[in-house]
Amino acid sequence: STVPVGTGDEVERIIREANPRADVAVVSNPEFLREGAAIDDFKRPDRIVVGLEDERARDVMTEVYRPLYLNQAPLLFTSRRTSELIKYAANAFLAMKITFINEMADLCEKVGANVQEVARGIGLDNRIGSKFLHAGPGYGGSCFPKDTLALVKTAQDYDSPVRLIEATVAINDNRKRAMARKVVAAVGGDVRGKTIAVLGLTFKPNTDDMRDAPSLSIIQALQDGGAHIRAFDPEGMEASRSLLERVDYGKDAYDAATGADALVVVTEWNAFRALDFARLKTLMKAPVLVDLRNVYRRDEIARHGFRYTSVGRPKDDVLT
């Protein structure tokens, strides 16, 4: 899977050293599976990358993947080191794309533009594409944070720095706490003594993965400001207990929102896409919604008398 460039060479060296007579070919076969959709991605991959130095491995690996396709599988054969680098380059590029649209979101708020329309406008260009152009609180998970840092370190080791990726890492780290400041602003500039309800803890929907989740930095920053946190996540609460302190967990979104001064959507689970705002208004101490995933439209929230803050939309889209 994802290993530093040169790992395959080292594996082969160890094998040759341990058993010079071993007739073994070492190949690199990185995976490109999304958490929450791994089986479907395996059965219908957009590409299969195989790095090899021994040509005998080509036929073996072709046969391994043959059952997935009636016709030719989308196999890309490269050198082993190229294959190892493809994985890092792919994840770094996607992380950079997320970070780009997040910076555009900040600019949109300043100039009065709408980042969702900007994303659609540039995403319709086939050279850019629409995926990973959703503004939010930054990337997390097991791959992007780890792989971007690994690529930066590898580039430094080889005296070939990757400045764009270095900037991506720094910007993403800063963004998470910036989202906490957005919540603070939404409740009047001070969260001390206030209760903030957080919906969504995992780094994305359909997983229980809490690794480098934006919610961790957001909650920590709000707690640093004196806020009390109530939270709910369909899958991530068990994993979050060892990572977060002084958090009360609700049995559902409405339980978490009870008595809250603001409700914050951090992860766009389907369960949070059709909330009953009439019910929420009766449960919450103050009708304030901070939508860090732009799940809702301003007008539908306004009908229920909520003050609404989103990401990358013009100021007249934030009700006060």
For residue 98, count other CB atoms closer than 10 A to its CB: 21
Cβ atoms 97, 90 nearer than 8 A = no
Q: Characterise 132 by phi-psi region: left (phi > 0), alpha (psi -120 to 50), beta (else).
A: left
The full length of the chain comes to 320
Q: Report d(CA 23, CA 146) in Å as an integer.
A: 34
The active-site residue out of 115, 143, 198, 253 is: 143
Residue 143 known to be catalytic: yes
DSSP codes of every residue in 141-168: SSSHHHHHHHHHHHHHHTT---HHHHHH
Angle, alpha carbons 246-251-257 (nearest 5°) = 70
Both tokens of 76, joined, read 């890309």
Active site residues: 143
